[in-house]
Structure 1
């Protein structure tokens, strides 16, 4: 039962904001601080939080109508809410109370006195943000490639067929996963202390993916003070991926930040194959329940149904033969290997066989999303603390971590839970009825590696120990010229190669830029040349393969910069699009566009459609695919391709600059308010360090890219810098909804402000306090093992 309401009272936290509206929250204890973080997040990102909660609960269609059905069906099948509840139920008391305090703060900020946010809701939002961030949809795509092209290319192994459509020979390089991070050792900085920097790459969302925030626990009621600033996920307490904690934990008396050093961290995606996909055989048992064919024969599978509601929007659901609210019963199945995610029966499948797929998701297997690590990171005092926290407690997704402290330690590691799988087992779904489907042990990840000199770069590249010597870059790698690289001598990096494909260009480009430091050494201000770099190594590689046209040779010699004001960059993009469309029309690739009578864009429904666009996959495969198909310059008719597409006159305007075509196209909240942002020319492209990803052959618009930039100075936190696209607020009309956007668009950053005396105190006023409804919501009808 719910708790009785408490009367309004003075907030148990203090709230301050800087000139960009970024919240700084201070409280005497960690639960009061978590409450304050939840409260201010509700003030700044209310619609984003509520949309995330509805997604976690498979109730998006109840808010926005039929457009939310695809997500709700997926959330039911993948058991998202049930997984979040399991994780919450398995937590120790301190973590459960910490989450509950955050949920109470959100409820108070939203005005839900006994509101719908519960202890498990923040976990649900974290899972919403990451359940499709891993590589399992790409496994379904590779299976589609192998089934479709296998008969047309007899003798070519399925893994090779899949490699044709990937940047360096496998999945992930063209996915939404990505990021840059680099650490600069004391011998290369002006201050003599380490410096960390980077930027995460995701789908560009409005409001933004990350929340800039500072959390200060003065420990008047607790025994562990801390003062941490960083980038948080709206709806999730703490600072998970990118943070900077003061070494002394802050000042209990709330004095101004004296700039003392501390410990900082940042992550990139490890591109690991950590969510396994299984092909299942399912049948009804004698009792009417489901059975699955495992390695030891037929075995019972759990199953059930959940009812989702569908809001009637402009009569779209009329004609269903029911009265509002409209409902749909969605089935779910779970075998001993994992949750059922997809069914396929089409011309690649025999009539008598329907192909079913499940995934083994570490979060669900372990009932652990890494929550203790989220809380423990706030108390870190050294790079070793951070490394131990990630190494012991991080679960999903698998990340590369760089951490450094003011004592000069820099550590590099991989963190997360991943099953032992050979590289050839990471390509296609594993048949559930074979020994390969038996449960495997978790990988024992290598110990953290120390970086003592030079630089360390992580940018989703295939882990390979780099030589110390200067080398000549092969065509299309690095910047195409002789490129001295600083030392990146982390040993045995190959042991961290836990995926199948990696991004081939950005890391080498960053190393090249860092090999030419400014006089006096690196500082936070000198990182702009790296964050803002737009040289396209992929363009150089493609032209090296097909020949560089005379008009673009000066542009190529300059490093193929994808500058917004460059007509050469636009010309190249038009030519690349024409090549992609030409290859997409190759009759040997006919059938890659799935036959889909329902118009969802994939054989598995709308959720998976982004992975089943042939042009997208072909664009990722350049220049490998022309070689695989033996398509040479002559057969491509380059003169015609350079002329562009006559059916797209706007795209082919000879005077158009790249920025005229390459505009921003962020994903907006479904059913959310209309937020505006200033238009600005956008430089960069998919493979450039300054990532603003377009979709060659489909659209020049940037739908993904750098969702934040960060620079942590381990000498003095006040010298650190950061930025997000748009701004700190998601409230329409708020001056901080888009006040950072022009800076972000220019590839720049804004200073971090930490001096309490320079911050503006904000009085939230009396707030309603209540407790989240702690029994879980009324369970939906469950039919475990029975006819459903």
Structure 2
């Protein structure tokens, strides 16, 4: 193969090739070598074939994947690509297919499932687009609309604001500091995306170099280029989730007419065209899945008898998303991003971005620092941001075009933390403002203390002060309790609100919060929510009452009176119950990393963590449910525009997905301590990749 692979001391691949297509092929090959099991799992998810290999536990995902048309969407988007991007994606897939058989043969996960070098299937040309879509189809807003529908139906519209809060999407941070405040005189960008923590990690560090560009960044294994975070030497960029609402659900009415199934439209009933697909299930009978696409989009609820016992049948909802409306997954942005040399280039490249809608920080070596939104938000009635529309109502249709996205120059600094201010107001639910306010405070402190350095900027993401404590203080201050509960009350009031791993008081706070959430959940005002919901188990995380109440506990505490809830009584009861627990363990002994491995295997990563939900170090728990951290920073980075060699990055585990590799978990100690892997830019300091090349292409 034409090209060269070198690696640093942590096994991070640095790739260079004589042209763009050779480089894409090389990236595909190296990705398959490093992450074969992970990439195959994502491919199966895109195809709706996980249960075929992994068994009945994955059937719910496969039903959704077939009904939402994941692979069909990827194929349509691939066929609509411009010729240059299409050839680039095809070259990447060629590289994957060259390395995948041998890599599959080395994977203990695939071997245990009976997948061998001789049985692994080649990738389709559109597979990378499907892998990308898999990462984001449930990342946005539509499952939250199922929750809000239940709340509105069972508690009334007054409860919507109380129980609408950031759901299962996690949180991320990104900061840009203008050169006037840095030691180099040029901007610095730093941050950390927060998602479900997976092993292998969701992002892979990579360097891609050819005569057209030399870019370092974080890539989804199975997707060419670098999609969200990159440093191209003259320009660097980073993103957070803008929390925009761009996915709509529509209530559909179906009936069986003389000629078969019909769907209600604005002008009456029209023939529907359902189809049936068969999902094979390991060690079980195959399952027939009904697939139906209306004029709005694919039907994703109500077609199959998947309701919980005791619940009403699930209403029929279709899903409308920009990617499917335009047969465009945004891959037209990826090559221009790699070729960017300025903030203007990045902004032009991101004009082709579709979803998810991101809040972007970008800076270049001229000193320009910009904050902008990228992605497509439909222009429609504001009601559709909150609740499903009516498929037959013309008033609920999308209007032509997309909502204008804000963009601005930044003269001082910018903070993005999934908050309403940085998100441009294009969504319905945002993260509470605590992280954004704390980050802004920390940046201002660094600016006041002297020039901001890359090392200083990288430490911003380690802060453990919990802003939600200030919301609770007035209620704790006036609580009337005695004995052990009074001791706990005073202890919480005296606490510095830092969720350090060694802090017993952070654990006591979690106990009190847990009991407060449990009290809210059991309150008669919320009792109607306890009825079984009618939707498939796949949507359970968005519809789990204790988890949703746990996300909304601050609003219930401060505004629950509108539902007849007495927050002072809840605070008192929670203090008494938490005091009775008498759990003196430090926070880190309870707040432990719970990395998700697709097969549920022990990962060797059960380690104590600092931070908490809505700390800057957002190692998120589910208040009222448990203390384990299933979400957190899936990478950290700092991009220095003056000298790329002063940049750094780290992922939670390592560059390799192979449990036998020395680079499987070697970044974990750095990630835990807040250190970064230095970014090596000198090719002579990198070592040639010892992995042999495939003997011949497949």
Shared topology, TM-score over 0.5?
A: yes
Partner residue of 1:713 out of 620, 627, 640: 640
Contact 1:402 1:413 in 2 (8 A): yes
Distance in 1, matches of 2:71 and 2:265, equals: 26
Partner residue of 1:497 out of 412, 418, 425: 425
Q: Which residue of 2 aligns with 1:430?
A: 389
Would you say 1:139 and 2:145 are equivalent positions?
Answer: yes
Q: Which residue of 2 aligns with 1:245?
A: 232
Distance in 1, matches of 2:311 and 2:591, equals: 44
Contact 1:63 1:310 in 2 (8 A): yes
- The 1:637/1:397 distance shift into structure 2, 3 A limit, reads closer
Distance in 2, matches of 1:761 and 1:608, equals: 46
Distance in 1, matches of 2:57 and 2:15, equals: 37
Q: Secondary structure at the match of 1:699?
A: coil
Partner residue of 1:197 out of 190, 195, 198: 190
Give TM-score scaled by structure 2 length.
0.91
Q: Which residue of 2 aligns with 1:250?
A: none
Q: What CA deviation, in whole Å up to 9, does each residue of 1:497-527 have, x standing for no partner? A: 1101211211111000111116431011112
Contact 1:343 1:356 in 2 (8 A): yes
**How far did residue 195 of structure 1 move?**
0.5
Q: Secondary structure at the match of 2:439?
A: helix
Q: What CA deviation, in whole Å up to 9, does each residue of 1:683-705 have, x standing for no partner? A: 00110111100011111000111
- The 1:766/1:636 distance shift into structure 2, 3 A limit, reads closer
Would you say 1:90 and 2:80 are equivalent positions?
Answer: yes
Partner residue of 2:173 out of 160, 180, 183: 180
**How far did residue 268 of structure 1 move?**
0.8
**How far did residue 444 of structure 1 move?**
3.6
- The 1:707/1:354 distance shift into structure 2, 3 A limit, reads closer
Runs of 4+ in 1 over 6 A off after TM superposition: 344-351
Q: Which residue of 2 aligns with 1:537?
A: 467
Contact 2:357 2:377 in 1 (8 A): yes
- The 1:676/1:388 distance shift into structure 2, 3 A limit, reads same
Distance in 2, matches of 1:635 and 1:764, equals: 64
Distance in 2, matches of 1:388 and 1:374, equals: 11
Contact 1:662 1:702 in 2 (8 A): yes
- The 1:134/1:371 distance shift into structure 2, 3 A limit, reads same
Q: Which residue of 1 aligns with 2:482?
A: none
Q: What CA deviation, in whole Å up to 9, does each residue of 1:108-156 have, x standing for no partner? A: 1112699421210001100111110011000001101111223xxxxxx
Would you say 1:292 and 2:260 are equivalent positions?
Answer: no
For 1:145-160, list aligned pairs within 5 A: 145-150=151-156, 158=157, 160=158
Bigger relative contact order (CA 8 A; separation at least 6): 1
Partner residue of 1:397 out of 348, 356, 371: 356
**How far did residue 177 of structure 1 move?**
4.0
Distance in 2, matches of 1:663 and 1:653, equals: 20
Partner residue of 2:32 out of 26, 34, 42: 42
Q: Which residue of 2 aligns with 1:449?
A: 408
For 1:618-629, list aligned pairs within 5 A: 618-626=549-557, 627-628=559-560, 629=563
Would you say 1:58 and 2:64 are equivalent positions?
Answer: no
- The 1:558/1:586 distance shift into structure 2, 3 A limit, reads closer
**How far did residue 166 of structure 1 move?**
3.3
Q: Which residue of 1 aligns with 2:109?
A: none
Would you say 1:414 and 2:342 are equivalent positions?
Answer: no
Q: Which residue of 1 aligns with 2:164?
A: 166
Would you say 1:693 and 2:680 are equivalent positions?
Answer: no
Would you say 1:101 and 2:101 are equivalent positions?
Answer: no
Distance in 2, matches of 1:528 and 1:96, equals: 37
Partner residue of 2:444 out of 490, 512, 515: 515
Contact 1:35 1:106 in 2 (8 A): yes
**How far did residue 631 of structure 1 move?**
3.4
Would you say 1:748 and 2:675 are equivalent positions?
Answer: yes
- The 1:96/1:528 distance shift into structure 2, 3 A limit, reads closer
Q: Which residue of 2 aligns with 1:567?
A: 504
Q: What CA deviation, in whole Å up to 9, does each residue of 1:85-129 have, x standing for no partner? A: 101111122111111111111111112699421210001100111
Q: What CA deviation, in whole Å up to 9, does each residue of 1:390-440 have, x standing for no partner? A: 1x2000111111100011011111111111134433111111122223232
Q: Secondary structure at the match of 1:463?
A: helix
Partner residue of 1:331 out of 261, 265, 290: 290
Q: Which residue of 1 aligns with 2:107?
A: none
Q: Secondary structure at the match of 2:286?
A: strand
Partner residue of 1:613 out of 544, 559, 564: 544
**How far did residue 722 of structure 1 move?**
1.0
Q: What CA deviation, in whole Å up to 9, does each residue of 1:308-349 have, x standing for no partner? A: 11111xxxx3xxxxxxxx422211101000110002998999
Would you say 1:21 and 2:11 are equivalent positions?
Answer: yes
Q: Which residue of 1 aligns with 2:241?
A: 269
Q: Which residue of 2 aligns with 1:257?
A: none
Distance in 1, matches of 2:214 and 2:624, equals: 47
Between 727-736 and 338-347, report the one with greater CA deviation: 338-347
Q: Which residue of 2 aligns with 1:215?
A: 208
Q: Secondary structure at the match of 1:669?
A: coil
Q: Which runs of 5+ in 1 are unaligned?
A: 1-10, 151-157, 168-172, 220-224, 247-261, 318-325, 465-492, 596-601, 647-651, 772-788
Q: Secondary structure at the match of 1:306?
A: strand
Q: Which runs of 5+ in 2 are unaligned?
A: 102-116, 479-485
**How far did residue 587 of structure 1 move?**
2.0
Q: Which residue of 2 aligns with 1:341?
A: 300
- The 1:99/1:654 distance shift into structure 2, 3 A limit, reads same
Contact 1:279 1:430 in 2 (8 A): yes
Q: Which residue of 2 aligns with 1:638?
A: 572
Q: Secondary structure at the match of 1:575?
A: helix
Distance in 1, matches of 2:230 and 2:510, equals: 37
Q: Secondary structure at the match of 1:132?
A: coil
- The 1:291/1:510 distance shift into structure 2, 3 A limit, reads same
Distance in 2, matches of 1:723 and 1:202, equals: 15
Distance in 2, matches of 1:274 and 1:384, equals: 25
Q: Secondary structure at the match of 1:116?
A: coil
Would you say 1:759 and 2:686 are equivalent positions?
Answer: yes
Distance in 2, matches of 1:82 and 1:100, equals: 17
Q: Which residue of 2 aligns with 1:117?
A: 123
For 1:465-484, list aligned pairs within 5 A: none
**How far did residue 374 of structure 1 move?**
1.1
Between 332-341 and 742-751, report the one with greater CA deviation: 742-751
Q: Secondary structure at the match of 1:84?
A: helix
Contact 2:619 2:630 in 1 (8 A): yes
Number of residue pairs matched by the alignment: 668
Q: Which residue of 2 aligns with 1:587?
A: 524
Distance in 2, matches of 1:278 and 1:591, equals: 24
Contact 1:401 1:415 in 2 (8 A): yes
Distance in 2, matches of 1:100 and 1:738, equals: 31
Q: Secondary structure at the match of 2:420?
A: coil
Distance in 1, matches of 2:207 and 2:308, equals: 55
Q: Secondary structure at the match of 2:620?
A: strand
Distance in 1, matches of 2:89 and 2:152, equals: 44
CA RMSD of aligned residues (A): 2.3
Q: Secondary structure at the match of 2:36?
A: helix
Q: Which residue of 2 aligns with 1:227?
A: 214
Distance in 1, matches of 2:678 and 2:173, equals: 20
Distance in 2, matches of 1:446 and 1:76, equals: 32
User: Where is the helix percentage greater, Structure 1 or Structure 2?
Assistant: 2
Q: Secondary structure at the match of 1:15?
A: strand
**How far did residue 557 of structure 1 move?**
5.9
**How far did residue 674 of structure 1 move?**
5.4
